Amino acid sequence: MQNANVQTHQIGHVIRVGRGWADVTINRSVRRVSTRPDLLVKAGCYLKIINEQGVALLSSEKIRSTELLQ
């Protein structure tokens, strides 16, 4: 039995964008995720995918701080 409070997230680089979707590279594989129309997603930005359900747009400052921590 899994704990419902455990959150998983992945950070991916956007390579293509369409109406309501974005192709994101995560660990050298391409994955298509659904996006909301009010979220301004452009190729080259980074997305954080949370629990396979939510998507958040990350700023470049957040990406740099995440890379420094690893």
Within 8 A by CB and 6+ apart from 33, the residues are 12, 21, 22, 24, 47, 49, 55
CA distances (Å), origin 29, targets 23, 26, 51: 10, 5, 18
The tally of domains found in the chain comes to: 1
pLDDT averaged over every residue in the chain? 80
Q: Residue 47 domain-assigned?
A: yes
Q: Residue 2 domain-assigned?
A: no
pLDDT tens profile 21-52: 999 999 899 999 998 888 889 999 999 888 87
Q: Residue 1 domain-assigned?
A: no
Q: Residue 46 domain-assigned?
A: yes
pTM: 0.71
For residue 56, what are the domain limits?
10-69
Residue 12 tokens, joined: 């991916």
CATH of the domain at 20: 2.30.30.140
